[in-house]
Amino acid sequence: MSVDTIKFALHLADNNLIMSQRLSEWTGHGPALEQDIALTNIALDMLGQSRNFFQYAAQLINEGRLLKEFAPGTNYPLDEDDLAYHRLEHQINSHLLVELPNGDWAQTILKIYFFSQYQQLMYEQLLQGNDAHLAAVAEKSLKEVKYHVKWSRDWVLRLGDGTEESHERMMKALNVLWPFTGELFEETTWNTQVFQHQIVREKWLQLVSSTLDEATLALPVLPTFQTGGLRGVHTEHLGYILAEMQYLQRVYPGNDW
């Protein structure tokens, strides 16, 4: 049970960390100064959430003396940085959606909308769960996530129901991202205890469908979805993200500024 909790906490941390790292690529490149700041704020929120989950996972790993299993090559006491900077691709259990390239603005905001809407519903489930620590982090994070949903949803409506070009770009983004949304609700050995995927999935589909409908975007019909992240099987993109993100800590271990 405790091992499952660690895996789940790491998964939540990984999702936020990779999402944050990806979004931070926009820093200084946003379409307008104000949107640049908005996106950077969101990336920072996600980094903060990631830290909270990593800290909890590190605490449980230290208490259970489970270092070999989760972060081989590191030493006790393990901390959040070890987990972020010293785990390899196959040890990272983030969803495939978060590591996908940003693409254009349309693809970026649609990805944030899909992910944040999922996060909101999932965190709401954690509030009722039996892990008090996860519930506390979820409660704190929800305030941020609700704004991420609102912000990105507004953009989906604005672009989907905007000009011919913006609509076309949103359709393109939808077709790129949709195959990766099914994985958000994938059940595996270590995440079924924590929240009810079926409930989250139904609510998510309902909310997203109504948003896409309002944005005049047609929902793609797919026979199946891409999966693999929960087993540590990733797209070709994650390796590049880790290479950039972990480089400094791997070349100068423990370096600080």
Partner 1 sequence: MLDRVFIQRYGDYGDRDVASGEMQESTVNNPHEWPLWEVFIRSKQGLDHKHAGSLHAADAQMAIENARDVYTRRMEGISIWVVESKHIHASNPDEADSFYEPSNDKIYRHPTFYDLPDAVKYM
- Distance between CA atoms of residues 249 and 177, nearest Å: 31
Report DSSP state, residue 236. T
- CA angle 194–220–192, rounded 5-degree value: 10
CB of 33 to partner 1, least distance (A): 8
Alpha helices in the chain (DSSP H): 2-23, 33-64, 67-70, 80-85, 96-99, 105-127, 132-160, 164-177, 197-214, 237-251
Confirm or reject binding of residue 165 to partner 1 (CB under 8 A): no
Least gap, CB of 214 to partner 1 (angstroms): 14
Residue whose structure tokens are 């540590």: 232
Distance in Å, CB of 49 to partner 1, minimum? 17
**Nearest CB to partner 1, comparing residues 43 and 212:** 43
Minimum distance, C-beta of residue 34 to partner 1, in the bound complex (Å): 4
Tell me the three state secondary structure of residue 139.
helix
Is-contact 98 19, C-beta < 8 A? yes
Q: Nearest 5°: CA angle at 233, between 71 and 40?
A: 75
Q: Which is nearer to partner 1, 53 or 151 (CB)?
A: 151
x/- binding map, residues 39-58, to partner 1, per CB under 8 A? --x-----------------
Q: Tell which positions 123-152 bind partner 1, by CB under 8 A.
A: 147, 150-151
Q: Minimum distance between the CB of residue 163 and partner 1, rounded to whole angstroms?
A: 9
Rule CB under 8 A: choose which of 3, 4, 35, 182 binds partner 1: 35
Query: Smaller CB distance to partner 1: residue 41 or 55?
Result: 41
Smaller CB distance to partner 1: residue 147 or 225?
147
- Could you say whether residue 222 binds partner 1 (CB under 8 A)? no
CA dist 65 and 45 (Å) reads: 30
Distances (CA, A) of 233 to 41, 113, 129, 171, 228: 30, 24, 28, 27, 5
User: From CA 255, how far away is CA 257, in angstroms rounded?
Assistant: 7
User: Based on CB atoms, which residue is closest to partner 1, 34 or 236?
Assistant: 34
Size of the site for partner 1 (CB under 8 A): 12
- Site for partner 1 contains 29 (CB under 8 A): no
Q: Of 154, 168, 202, 214, which one interacts with partner 1 (CB under 8 A)?
A: 154
Structural contact between residues 39 and 26, judged by C-beta atoms closer than 8 angstroms: yes
Determine if 37 is a binding residue for partner 1 (CB under 8 A). yes
Catalog residues that contact partner 1 under the rule CB under 8 A. Answer: 32-35, 37-38, 41, 147, 150-151, 154, 158
